[in-house]
Structure 1
Amino acid sequence: MLRRIGHELLLLSGDSTSRVLPIKKIAENEYQIRFEKEFTFDPIFLVNTTKRLLAKDPLVNDYVVKVLNASDGSVAYGYAISKNKKDEIIACVGRKQPRAHYMINIKLKPAGINTVKNGYLLGSLPFLAFVGFIFFRSVKPGRALPNDDQHKDMITLGSVLFDTKNRKLNINEKVIELTGTETRLLLIFARSPNETVERSRLQKEIWEDEGVIVGRSLDMFISKLRKKLELDPTINIVVIRSRGYRLEINA
């Protein structure tokens, strides 16, 4: 999962050839993702990607992420994710980071571990204070603090950032508009990646509420979606004969 985080970051930056180096364990429950070359990244994509991938591990509840400049070890960006939402710290998600040689440190707090006894929470406090400092320095007086709720409609699919609210795809820094029907269709696939979705279900959820189902309409919209997603070679909508379709996302 940690390698997948690095892989998806590189794809979003337009790099599909350089390597994610072997994951390095740097302390108890703390790991480092290293990269072969420089890249740039969007903080909200990093936040959403780690949330999506690490949520698959039932043993991980809370974690702290630090993005470091490999040249001097300085912190370029950081945030803390917690099962208890009020303890999360996510700052400055709207500012794309410049191209540089980064390393990503992820400190996990496994579920069931006493945080005071094992020192996880105490060890993270200086960094959390630092993140808070960045957060308040980055917000001008009188301006509303960033609200992560505005990004709840963002879904990552491979290197694609799917903005369901504004009906847009962001692929390798290119923005592609979607129609309302294309958005509803892709949202169904996005909620069940790498799983077969029955043709009858797609027709029912997309068109039945409008009082009409046109047999070939589904094929037409699938074709349009394929074309819009083709900028990311790791994503494809494939036909499952006599059943339906599947959104395949390959690492």
Structure 2
Amino acid sequence: MDKVVQSAAEAVADIADGSSIAVGGFGLCGVPQDLIDALREKGSGDLTVISNNCGIDGDGLGVLLEDRRISKVIASYVGENKAFAQQYLTGVLELELTPQGTIAERLRAGGVGIPGFYTITGSGTWVAEGGIPTKYDADGNVVKTSPPKETKEFDGKQYVLETAIVSDFALVKASKADRHGNLVFHESARNFNPPAAMSGKVCIVEAEQIVEPGEIDADEVHLPGVYVHRVIQSAGRKPIEKRTTRPKEA
């Protein structure tokens, strides 16, 4: 089945208001910039976004924050994004903080049909006990906190029950894709893109290179096409998250 569509706008056309979207990438590395920009142009709002972080001010998922299209974020890191922090602390959006490895495994579990799993990460902390502020009001008062999670002892240690994440859509960035949707990721872009792709009921991929079926050796495939529904050609935009320079020598 040829899964290539002609444009990012066509690929995201059915992402409606209120959708949940898992988005690959870390900072601005391996982020599906074209798909995010197309979603911004489409105008969908009240979105729940599941991603390691929410881009930076003015780029990546930051453009959706800028337009206030996101109502809830499940993430492990607020990071360098001032708009993210400001909207969280003034009640514009709800934030479910989740440890980095846990969010990756919750996404992967959703993709393989595992409803939940126990992990030692977060045991004995607010992650397990509850009480992390998830929503503030406009005056900065906490109006909602995370609930306590079920725990269980294994071999004398307490583990925390985490539930899987199944998203309505997944937006991911691949280095290479064939027309059947088999994917190859470049180095660290492989950290969150595969589990995000697996979690989506509909997985949409932008690829730097699209090849014919059979041109990717089976041993090179990082994610099989069974998880992928649509593929577009990436425009190749790769913004730099932090630029550090030094004076040129005379």
Tell me the TM-score normalized by structure 2: 0.27
Could you say which structure has the greater relative contact order, defined with CA pairs below 8 angstroms and 6 or more residues apart?
Answer: 2
More helix as a share of residues? 1
- Greater gyration radius: 1
Tell me the TM-score normalized by structure 1: 0.27
